[in-house]
Amino acid sequence: MKLWNKIFIGVAISVAALAASVTGAQAKDGAGNIVIVVDPGHGGNDGGAASSYDNEATLNWNIATALKAELQTYNGVRVYLTRGSAEWNSNAARGRMGQQLCADLFVSVHNNSGSNASANGVQVYGTVNSAYKDSIKNLCTSVASHVSALGLANGGYQTRTSTKDSSRDYYTMLDEAVKCNIPGIIIEHCYLSNPSDANFIHSEDNQRRCGAADATAIAGYYGLTKRGVTAGSSITLERTYSANMTGCTAGSYSSSDTSVAYVSSDGVITAVGAGEAVITGSAGSVTIKVPATGLKAIAAGINPTFCNASAVASYNQSTVMVKAIYSDGTATQLSSGYTFGGINNSGNGAYDIPVSYNGLSCNLRIYGTGAAGSYSLNNYKVIGTNKDILVYPAVYNGINTGITITNDNGQTSQTNTTPVQTEAPAPVPAPVEETTVEQTEEATTAAETEPETETETEAETVTEAETETETESAARTDDAIKSKTFPKGLLITAVAILLAGVIAATVFVIRRKRNNINE
């Protein structure tokens, strides 16, 4: 074989090997799957915004579970929820949960509300963190496009920066997720304060369609393909995951045990419970094996996440919410059986407390008011139903300096406290950030509305800028860049093109040398 042919083949093999390794590198979990954390907003005693028909928490749950179910029909992805159906979680804990799962993406599912009844349509907020902003913008745009295709106005891609640090996110969940090197988005599907939007989302079918639209956009972003199975084969499916049986006549399917695997009239097989079942269609049968569901990870949050630094040492363990996360993607709040370790001061007001359960562990993050930088411990006031909003005297004395620091809101489904009520400062309207579609009369800009996330006091929190040293910030940014999420297909294509150029150049040089020798 000629020398240049040998070199060409060798380099081609190297290209294939490198492409394969790049594919696996896109996913953080050990099995090479993309890991997505889906957060149904609100929950428990926190109903969120409301319309004439529904409360937001119920809508969010229905959309989120439909999103999860649709994503689970694809290969190469694992999906996990942040809470159970009737549970609540702090916003900080929601954003940080993916750390225990090696998550690639955090998706918070919401519906909007505002004082302007004409405000309508879907808006998708992406993190402003520089390591992820550009790639996440494409995902946000795609999600908005897919959801608006169902009949809603397209409010497009949105961002909102911290009023204290433009490099940080305004919303707690996104900011906390980024601290764990996880890019995040918030999907505001429609405005419950708009009669047309509220009527649209009241339909359970439309709720499911919204979830499926979200999933389709996410799957396209990562280049995922549907999971298929043909007659004469067998497949192992985790509970709640699905596969499409192909090559059979519609309506001809049946399951030998519907408690193990259910099959729809068009051949979509869904794993229901542990065991083995045979799915039969007109072209033959498929064996479905469903393993027992196992405990995957635990995660912990506390209400409130922010407190006086001197009170951290005596934090109330009864207000801690420990979530058990299972292999089928479900999450449920534990009532007992977990233990706490000592308090570790992580610097500048951030404290981490080890939590253990059944051989697994995680860190509970609490922020002391030392996180507010140079402000003294007495120079703030706690307000809100759950004592979860920190404001400074300059604000509540009527001199609005713009320094309003708001922590996670919502009522825990475990313990609710009702302190003396104090009038909160008026919310600051959301600025209009980058929007990838032209705002129409139907799709009102963010500046004209009051985002429901602010109504539920998910405003800027005392977090990143105040709670980490410059060294920690630099390390986090470096790690985030290293683990930056890109669509698989785009990165692989870029690498392949680059290496193809190297191959072509190598072949050209060898041929030139060979021709010179012959001459």
The pair of three-digit structure tokens given for residue 419, joined into one six-digit string: 């302190």
CA torsion 94→96→99→104, rounded to 10°?
A: 70
Strands of 268-271's sheet in order across: 228-230, 242-246, 268-271, 261-263
pLDDT of residue 346: 87
pLDDT of residue 490: 52
pLDDT of residue 36: 99
With contact defined as beta carbons under 8 Å apart, do 463 and 170 qualify? no
| DSSP string for 370-424 | GGGTTS-TTS-EEETTTT-EEE-HHHHTT---S-EEE---S--SS----PPP-PP
Q: Comparing 21 with 13, which gets the higher pLDDT? A: 13
With contact defined as beta carbons under 8 Å apart, do 169 and 175 qualify? yes
The pair of three-digit structure tokens given for residue 203, joined into one six-digit string: 């339909």
Q: Comparing 18 with 447, which gets the higher pLDDT? A: 18
Q: Is the pLDDT of residue 409 over 70?
A: no
For the stretch 220-258, what's the b/e string if a residue is b when 16 or more beta carbons lie within 10 angstroms of its beta carbon? Answer: ebbbbeebebebeeebebbbbbbbbbeebeeeebebebe
Percent of the chain with pLDDT over 90: 58
Cα–Cα distances in angstroms (integers) from residue 323 to residues 125, 296, 401, in the given order: 26, 11, 38
pLDDT of residue 509: 57
Q: What is the pLDDT of residues 302-346, one digit of tens each?
A: 988 877 777 888 899 999 999 999 999 999 999 999 999 999 998
Q: What is the mean pLDDT of residues 157-178?
A: 90
With contact defined as beta carbons under 8 Å apart, do 214 and 187 qualify? yes
With contact defined as beta carbons under 8 Å apart, do 107 and 35 qualify? no
Q: What is the pLDDT of residues 253-266, one digit of tens each?
A: 999 999 999 999 99
The pair of three-digit structure tokens given for residue 112, joined into one six-digit string: 């909007």
pLDDT of residue 483: 44
Q: Is the pLDDT of residue 22 over 60?
A: no
Q: What is the pLDDT of residues 69-96, one digit of tens each?
A: 999 999 999 999 999 999 999 999 999 9
Query: Which uninterrupted H or E stretch holds 498?
Result: helix 488-518
Q: What is the pLDDT of residues 370-383, one digit of tens each?
A: 443 333 333 334 43
pLDDT of residue 348: 72
Give residue 174's pLDDT band: very low, low, confident or very high (50, 70, 90). very high
Q: Which one of 3.40.630.40, 2.40.50.140, 3.20.20.70, 1.25.40.10 gives the CATH number of domain 27-224+431-456+470-482? A: 3.40.630.40
Residue 144, SS3 per DSSP: helix
Q: What is the mean pLDDT of residues 113-126?
A: 96
Residue 479, SS3 per DSSP: helix
Q: Is the pLDDT of residue 128 over 80?
A: yes
Determine the number of helices (DSSP H) and then strands (DSSP E) in the chain.
12, 25
pTM: 0.73
The mean of the pLDDT values for the chain is 76
pLDDT of residue 381: 41
Q: What is the mean pLDDT of residues 228-233?
A: 96
Rounded CA separation 94/72 (Å): 21
pLDDT of residue 386: 37
Residue 175's nearest CA partner among 189, 161, 187 is 161
The one-letter amino acid code at 291 reads P
The one-letter amino acid code at 42 reads H
Give residue 493's pLDDT band: very low, low, confident or very high (50, 70, 90). low
Other C-beta atoms closer than 10 Å to the C-beta of 316 total: 13
Residue with structure tokens 């920690």?
472
With contact defined as beta carbons under 8 Å apart, do 63 and 207 qualify? yes
Q: Is the pLDDT of residue 9 over 90?
A: no
Measured in residues, the chain has a length of 519
Give residue 165's pLDDT band: very low, low, confident or very high (50, 70, 90). confident
Q: Is the pLDDT of residue 429 over 60?
A: no
Residue 188's nearest CA partner among 139, 144, 151, 137 is 144
Q: Is the pLDDT of residue 460 over 60?
A: no
Bridging pattern class, strands 404-406 and 154-158: unpaired
Rounded CA separation 503/497 (Å): 10
Residue with structure tokens 């050990």?
30
Q: What is the mean pLDDT of residues 22-30?
A: 55
